[in-house]
Amino acid sequence: MTAPNCALTALAHWATVKPEAVAVHHHAGRLSYADLSALVMAASRALAGTGDRLALLLDNGAGWIVADLAARQVSAVIVPVPGYFTDAQLRHVIDTAGIDLIVTDQPERVEQALADCLPGRLGRLAAGEVLDSIELVALDGISRHAAPKLPGKTRKVTFTSGTTGMAKGVCLSDDLIDNVARSLAKASGGTAADRHLQLLPLAALLENIAGIDVPLLLGAEICSLPLQSVGLGGSSSLDMSILVAALDRHRPTSIVTVPQSLNALVHAARTAKWRPSYLRHVAVGGATLPRGAIAAARALGLPVFEGYGLSECGSVVALNTLEADHPGSVGKPLPHCRVSLAADGEVLVWGAGCEGFLCADTMAPMDDPMPTGDIGRLDEDGFLYLLGRKKNIFITSFGRNVEAEWIECELSATPSISQAAVFGEARPWNVAVVVPRTKAKDWQATVSGDIARVNEGLPDYARIRRWLTADRPFLPDDGLLTWNGRLRRPEIFAVYSDRIERLYDEEERHVS
């Protein structure tokens, strides 16, 4: 057994230096650093010899942390599976990655989804209250003959939902994960006195690193609870009252969140005069924030710092910090990487590329620099500003480039609109499909008024001329949204294309 990465090295250090200090606060109590170290060693003995590629299908909690660290201890390749993945997506992960063993607290679901693979239970991960519900499910040779050969340094394969198609596997090395964790520990100003509350699924790479590796490096406390205990249901359901209650009960100093959750916290602070003075650092990323969102949050006592990253670069690439902060930007590049811009404005990341992408048949190695697909600009102080996704820029029939994400962000920041998708490729003017926040009295007039006010701040070619109401919110479960809040624009257009076309037809008939 080896301890090749910094999280395991840190765990061993703190278990020796301060064995009784709290390492993990979980649903049933607390684990000291000595307790956590002992559980990881016990679990690693159970995992030894069970396979080279292990999938983790677990709810947040101490069990997830122990399983992850134990798999690293035996040098297995770890494949986290988001709990909200459908059975088809679960099967895709298993088929694509050539999984030998699934570590799960949902064995019945696994057996149902993979019935044709004749999975067999090997027993529990380890004894004890924390791990009693976690079982090892072996797979009977599923796709192993077709399993892709991984780069030699691959230690974790994170499946990212992306914005189109099936989830893709991103192959990451220990070195990259360690570099990101060290940079985040420094940039966030963290100390051993911190308590980090996990609000995102641990299968998400951002929380995996920020919510496990970073606190372990610092010798801090991790608060890891079932997702429903912090108000998160599935991939996109959020109960604000449960979220706020969890924050007040556990009083974390740091959290990582996405724009939708930040909106809920801002709403609570504004309407209920809630002031979480215990919070020291709130990192937000995953999707673009509206202009003024950071200033509004800070005015309400939320110490929010916007950042930017992507799975292909091991998660976080840039982050605003207390010492270097330009609201509206996503911060300066972290010390482990460098950012430049291509001729067309695409953000390129140097020194933080993944090992490659996992797919059904082949895996292409990644070159340096890593193209991100995001359009940005760098100011004279080195702060990075995002202008939208490269593939989300469409060209009107007048030859104007329109950044759809910018307009959508402004629309969704209004009081009446919760989500908006903008279209206008090869058209003389733009259409928005909007999800209203409410359908109370005169809601249509309110939405029209808010769109008009947004239009006042846009150049004429970017303005919205017509809009239609979405049938329902854009959700990951419907395939219209990624887990971190990015629109799946082609899928949305496919649903509403007929109605969008009718709006253009109506306008043309009116003009003629």
Predicted local distance difference test score (pLDDT) of residue 396: 85
pLDDT digits (tens, 9 = 90+) for 4-36: 689 999 999 999 999 999 999 999 899 999 999
> Is the domain defined by 396-511 classed in CATH 3.30.300.30?
yes
Question: E-assigned strands of 4-119?
Answer: 22-26, 29-32, 53-57, 77-80, 101-104
pLDDT of residue 41 exceeding 80: yes
pTM exceeding 0.85: no
Amino acid at 310: L
Domain map (residue ranges) of the chain: 6-378, 396-511
Task: Return the CATH class of domain 6-378.
Answer: alpha beta
Q: Are 171 and 151 in contact (CB under 8 A)?
A: yes
At residue 205, φ and ψ (nearest 5 deg) are: -55, -40
pLDDT digits (tens, 9 = 90+) for 176-206: 999 999 999 999 999 999 999 999 999 999 9
pLDDT digits (tens, 9 = 90+) for 237-287: 788 899 999 999 999 999 999 887 888 899 899 888 899 999 999 999 877
For β-strands 401-403 and 393-395, DSSP reports them as antiparallel
pLDDT digits (tens, 9 = 90+) for 65-107: 999 999 999 999 999 998 878 788 888 888 888 898 999 999 8
Polymer length in residues for the chain: 512
Q: ω into residue 369 within 30 of 0, thus cis?
A: yes
80: which 2 tokens? 């986290």
At residue 391, φ and ψ (nearest 5 deg) are: -80, -5
Q: From CA 465, how far away is CA 431, in angstroms rounded?
A: 6
